[in-house]
Structure 1
Amino acid sequence: AASLEDISKDQELLQFALANGAAAFGDNCAPCHGSGGTGAEGYPSLQDDTWIWGGSLDAIYTTLQYGIRSGNDDARVGEMPAFGRDELLGKEEISQVSNFVASRAGLETEDGVDLAAGQTVYEDNCAACHGEDLKGIQDVGAPSLLSANYLYGKSLAAIKAQVRNPRNGVMPAWVDRLDPATVKSLAVYVHSFGGGQ
């Protein structure tokens, strides 16, 4: 019945939550996020500070409870449009915007690509979610494009692939699978990895 804040401040509750969370993580989360929460392509690292939906204790708890695109009524549901597959942008525009993002992320770009045109495509199609500054907007689940970590690979080819036909991953909602104390314990345990806020 204790709040997350109370659990964090009470040494006995905290130790119980960390032990319970570690066991639950190993059984339920490690297959995707790795045994130490290091992640893999398509599965975020839980040890860094690159949190798509926010890394505060409360944000982690909300994500654990309801999931991401899980089908739960309260799930986090931000989804990137398929700009190529759905013909929202042409091939040249996809190349321009991908190269623009790559240039801002410190990646090599293709010769002869109009980066100014790519910036315009970005401003018209991407900035509403990823921000004018490319730093992302957690409220809508749009990651920073300046991050050291990209969920689906940090290369120009990976950026183009994500713009054309994005992979919008799914995380299950644990609220109906695990008891409330275990979900709270998982939130405390994941937060303890040190990557949260």
Structure 2
Amino acid sequence: MDNRMVYFDQQQRLSLQSGIALPAAQSLLQLAGQQAVASTLIAIPKPASLLAELERAYSQGYEQHASTEFELQGIAVAGSGDPLLHLDLLAEVIPAFKAQRHGVPVTLVTYGLVAPAEAEVLCQQLLALEVEKLEVYLPAANPPAYQQAVQPKQLGFAEVCQFIHTAAEAGLPVSCFAYAPVKQVSELRGLAKELGAREFLLIGS
């Protein structure tokens, strides 16, 4: 497996490098303390190369231990960039992967910093691509704390909250997450639920 394009995240889930475009100061890999992984990833992977690495991982036994469909982790699209800023790559990789591997769930790991005017159309595109799940980074429960934690280049707390709500309303299963340690966990769980997310995950706790 070429770990310059495909790697295992903190949940031991097979993850794809999506590119390097970011809406915030740091990649989620960096925030997770995985700078070493981030530094090895190819900046702009080719769809055909990603598909070849995914097929290699599955042919070598990734997920063979799963006894039921509920144990299947599937793949995540994340990497050193934000997958929502690499829709051209998603549009090539996801349908081709699903044609090869029927029933394998696809998750996008994202900041969710999407302009409200674009959110509904984007969610419909993700539904058309048969994305099974969104994991949206939500490390703070108010605008000042969010600004400090994320340092967004554009948009902010209001927009990520609106995107979570729009995605949930569109029928996309949404989870919110943060990396431990984080303050106000109970407030974050409450906010995530209020916005329509199915759960709030504290990773690394």
What TM-score do the two structures reach when normalised by structure 2? 0.23
Whose strand proportion is higher, 1 or 2? 2
* Larger gyration radius, structure 1 or structure 2: 1
Specify which structure has the bigger relative contact order, considering alpha-carbon pairs within 8 angstroms and separated by 6 or more residues.
1
